[in-house]
Amino acid sequence: MGFAPFGVVEGDGMKVVEMFYDQYGDNSGPDQGKIETEGKPYVDKGWPKLDTIQSATLLTSTPSAASKSTTPTKKPQ
């Protein structure tokens, strides 16, 4: 669906990611349209063990990866 990444897992953070519930598989996820119209009750009913982000903290106003230019620069002549 073209979702953009929004964060980076640093340090031992992957240990937390690996604890997420992973038994629903790749093809049985919630319908994005129904999430928009029905919200959390829809997700809770169909996927009661689905992990969710309860809070997030912005550590910097400009992530280091985003501050690097992705457009090629012209070579000086």
pLDDT in the model for residue 45: 93
pLDDT at 36: 93
Which residues, in sequence order, are CB contacts of 7 under 8 Å at separation 6+?
A: 56
Q: Which residue has the higher pLDDT, 21 or 25?
A: 21
Higher pLDDT, 68 or 56: 56
Q: Please check the confidence at residue 6 and state whether its pLDDT lies above 90.
A: no
Q: How many helices (H) and strands (E) does the chain have?
A: 4, 0
Tokens read off for 67? 């501050």
pLDDT higher than 70, residue 69: no
d(CA 39, CA 43): 7
pLDDT tens digits, one per residue of 30-63: 888 999 999 999 999 999 998 888 887 777 766 5
